[in-house]
Amino acid sequence: MMVGDRVRLRPVTLEDLPRFVEWLGDAQVNRHLSTPRFLSIEQEQAWFEALPARGEEAPRAVDALEDGAWVHVGSTGLLDIDWRVRSAEVGLLIGDTTRWGRGYGGEALLLLLGHAFDALGLHRVQLKVAAEHTRGRALYQRLGFVEEGALRGAAFADGAHGDLVVMSILAPEWRARRRR
Ligand SMILES: CC(C)(COP(=O)(O)OP(=O)(O)OC[C@H]1O[C@@H](n2cnc3c(N)ncnc32)[C@H](O)[C@@H]1OP(=O)(O)O)[C@@H](O)C(=O)NCCC(=O)NCCS
C-alpha cells in the first residue's frame, strides 16, 4: 500500500471490477485509451484471475480520501518492466469524470513514480499519450516527464488518426525533482 495525503494505491480486488467495466465503457474516459471499449465483467474477471500467473507488477487501484473515507476513483500501474534496462511504462486512469481536475491523477502518479524509482530502482519510466490529450500532457509535464517525440498516426480517436507522444522521466530527474 502506498499512501499519500489524499490518494492511496492498493491492490485491485474483485469488488473493483464492475467499476472498471463502467469506466472503460465511458466515451470520455476511453477516448485516448488503447483498451477495448466494451469489456464484459467476464473478461475483466478473466484478466484479474490471470494476473498472478503473469508475474508482473500488480495493477493498483487508486483510492481518494473524501470526507474521511477512501473512495475508489481509478487505477494505475507499471507495465512491460524490463529488468535488464530497468525501464517500464506507466498507465493511469481516473475513471470517475466528475472527479477529474482534483489532483488525484497527479498524486497517484507521484506515488507510483516513488515506487518505481525508490523501491524498484528503475532507471526510466515512460508513457505514451495522444497528442490531442492536452489534460494528460499538461499533467505529465508538470510531474517532470519530458516529451521525446511522436509516433505518427499511432492514435485513433473520434474517427481520426493522430500522433502518440512518447514522454519519459529518468531516475536522476526524479531525484533532482525530489530535492527541489
Ligand atoms: C488524464 C487523467 C488521468 C488526469 O487525471 P486528473 O485527476 O484529472 O489529474 P489532475 O487533477 O491531477 O491534473 C489534471 C491537470 O490537467 C489540467 N486540466 C484540467 N482540466 C483541463 C482541460 N480541460 N484541458 C487541459 N488541462 C486541464 C489541470 O489543471 C491539471 O494540471 P495542473 O495540475 O498543472 O493544474 C484523467 O483525466 C483520466 O483518467 N482520463 C481518462 C484516461 C486517460 O486518458 N488516461 C491517460 C492516458 S495517457
| Each residue's pLDDT tens digit, 134-148 | 999 999 999 999 999
C-alpha span between 121 and 93 (Å, rounded): 24
Q: Which atom of ligand 1 is nearest to the CA of 142?
A: 34
Quote the pTM value: 0.93
Q: What is the 3-state secondary structure (H, E, C) of the chain?
A: CEECCCEEEEECCHHHHHHHHHHHCCHHHHCCCCCCCCCCHHHHHHHHHHHHHHCCCCCEEEEEEECCEEEEEEEEEEEEEECCCCEEEEEEEECCHHHCCCCHHHHHHHHHHHHHHHHCCCCEEEEEEECCCHHHHHHHHHCCCEEEEEEEEEEEECCEEEEEEEEEEEHHHHHHHHHC
Ligand 1 within 6 A of CB of 130: no
Which residue's CA is the nearest one to ligand 1's atom 16?
A: 135
- Sheet with 124-130, edge to edge strand ranges: 2-3, 7-11, 60-66, 69-82, 87-94, 124-130, 160-170, 146-157
Topology at the third CATH level for domain 2-179 = Aminopeptidase (3.40.630)
Q: Which residue has the cell 507510483?
A: 112
Q: What is the pLDDT of residue 74?
A: 97
Q: What is the pLDDT of residue 21?
A: 93
Ligand 1 within 6 A of CB of 108: no
Could you tell me if residue 144 is left (phi over 0), alpha (psi between -120 and 50 degrees) or otherwise beta? left
For strands 87-94 and 124-130, give the pairing.
parallel
Ligand 1 pocket mutation pick from 139, 141, 151, 163 by most atoms within 8 angstroms of CB: 139
Q: What is the pLDDT of residue 36?
A: 74
Q: Which atom of ligand 1 is nearest to the CA of 128?
A: 48
Give per-residue pLDDT as tens, 99-135.
999 999 999 999 999 999 999 999 999 999 999 999 9
Give per-residue pLDDT as tens, 24-71.
999 999 999 887 777 899 999 998 898 888 777 889 999 999 999 999
Q: Which atom of ligand 1 is nearest to the CA of 106?
A: 12
Q: Which atom of ligand 1 is nearest to the CA of 102?
A: 11
Ligand 1 pocket mutation pick from 78, 128, 135, 156 by most atoms within 8 angstroms of CB: 135
Ligand 1 centroid distance, CA of 49 (Å): 30
Pick the range with the lowest mean pLDDT from 53-67, 86-100, 163-177: 53-67
